[in-house]
Structure 1
Amino acid sequence: MEYIILIGVIAVIILLFAGKYNRLVTLRNRVKNAWSQIDVRLQQRNDLIPNLVNTVKGYAKHESETLERVIQARNQLMAAQSEENVKEAAKAENQLQSTLKSLFALRESYPDLKANTNFLDLQEKLKGMEDKLASVRQYYSDSVTRYNTEIEKFPANLIASMFGFKAMELFEVENEEVRKAPKVKFD
């Protein structure tokens, strides 16, 4: 009878251990899936940027510095896109956001560009892509938070350390300008 109880206790411990391990694997895979969604959306947006730049080039020939900065920021983001390099990807993303703002500011100086349907269409597609990117970034951050929380909780932390589950980085905005609340003036 004692052996049956001992075997039962060992079986329960093994089942709990296996359940926690499987939970960690599931959460880690969700984070990888979330990152791949970010990667897909970034690639889609990166594919739009050359079309946008070429459209602007036709109207703003002497704005080559701005256009070059946009292309350079896009290339840096493409090079940094990897799950292992979340901080670099976030930094490159912030740089691209800044350069795109300066690109869109050019439209104020060029009325013909402002009225160009191709430019307006590309701008609208880019805006839609930014909305989708924000959504998948949120999903990624939620997945990373769940995963990191789980590997810190007892007894999962013991299993995590035994099998090499490491905390993952959030995709964080480093640009302080993005975090500031807009100033609203009523005249």
Structure 2
Amino acid sequence: MSAFLIVLVILVVLVGVVAGLFIGPYNALVRLRNTLQEAWRQVDVELNRRYDLIPNLVETVKGYATHEHNTLSDIVALRNQARQMDAGAVPTQERGAVESQLTGAVGNLIAVAEAYPELKADAGFRQLASQLSETEDRIANSRRYYNAVVGDYNTKVESFPSNVSATMFHFEKAAYFQVDDPTMRQTPAVDFGELGYGSGVQRPGAAQTPQIESGQFTNPVTPPQTTATPQPDPGQIKRREPGEGAGTSAS
């Protein structure tokens, strides 16, 4: 084999190694990053839809529930704070925390309407509540897809040999977008007073079990009476003398 062919083979091998370590993983990372950004845009569309619905909801509730001023102010503040964070191609953990609080606040506001019959009967409020519910469902679906893409992308960033290209070309790990209601993470409180069935402990507000007094029965059939066997009086028992018959009475 000539020296030219040897050099050519070496070059081909080097190109293959470079392609395996850099070009292929780099292209895969680029594809995943683009998919990640597209998935986030879908989440962002639904979040902005919620931002647009919240002011109308607040104004509607304000007309009926004047005592909920603090709740309405908190929702407006959270909505404005979240919208100010709507600037990047991918979300941040800080924005996820704010969106989580906003989700809980909107849910609480809709639940507050139960205390205001006129508000519940308002057609505009019912329509807004329905649209917000549908938007929350779309946010949840889009978020699940986005987080799945984040998992694939982060695995690629950390795995060899793609991690070499990720380090060289500054592919950073992406953050998951968590918008969970924090109340769902709380451990439910257990009232141990409800567990006193066998020990005679009665839960407050529960129906009282009627008590049956001695000698009273709900069954119309009279229970059988038990006749006690008479016991002899020790003072009436006379000691039998030796020699007396079994059936002979002592005088």
TM-score (normalizing by structure 1): 0.89
Distance 1:142 1:122, change over 3 A: same
Structure exhibiting the larger radius of gyration computed from Cα positions:
2
Q: Select 1:12's aligned residue among 16, 24, 29.
A: 16
User: Equivalent of 1:145, from 148, 151, 156?
Assistant: 151
Point out the more displaced range, 143-152 or 172-181.
Answer: 172-181
Q: Distance between the aligned counterparts of 2:74 and 2:179, measured in 1?
A: 20
Letter of the 1:36 partner, please give it.
R
Is the 1:38–1:133 Cα contact (8 Å) retained in structure 2? yes
1:53–1:67 Cα contact (<8 Å) kept = yes
Which deviations, in whole Å up to 9, do the C-alpha atoms of 1:32-73 show, x marking residues without a partner? 122222211111111001111111111112321111111111
CA distance in 2, matches of 1:80, 1:28: 20
Give the stretch that moved more between structures: 39-48 or 93-102. 93-102
Structure 1, unmatched stretches of 5+, are none
Structure 1 match to 2:56: 51
Return the offset for 1:79: 1.6
Residue of structure 2 equivalent to 1:77: 82
Match of 1:42 among 44, 47, 64: 47
**Does residue 33 of the first structure (1) align with residue 8 of the second (2)?**
no
Change (3 A) 1:132 1:174: closer
Structure with more helix by fraction: 1
1:20 positional shift? 1.0
2:92 counterpart SS class: helix
What is the distance in 2 between the residues matched to 1:20 and 1:84?
A: 21
Q: 8 Å contact 1:80–1:92 — kept in the other structure?
A: no
Higher relative contact order (CA 8 A, sep 6+): 1
Cα distance in 2 for residues equivalent to 1:28 and 1:182: 40
1:148 and 1:167 in contact (8 A); partners too: yes
The answer to whether 1:169 aligns with 2:175 is yes
1: CA distance between counterparts of 2:137 and 2:150?
20
1:176, distance to aligned residue in structure 2 (A): 3.6
1:85-100 equivalence runs, <5 A: 85-100=91-106
Among all aligned residue pairs of Structure 1 and Structure 2, give the percentage whose two residues are the same amino acid: 40
SS state at 1:75 partner: helix
Q: CA RMSD in A?
A: 2.1
Partner of 1:129: 135
* Cα deviation 1:145-177 (Å, max 9, x = unaligned): 111100111111111111111111111246542
Deviations 1:80-104 (A, max 9, x none): 2334651111111111122112211
Uncovered stretches (5+) of structure 2, i.e. residues with no partner = 190-205, 207-251
Deviates more, 1:168-177 or 1:31-40: 168-177
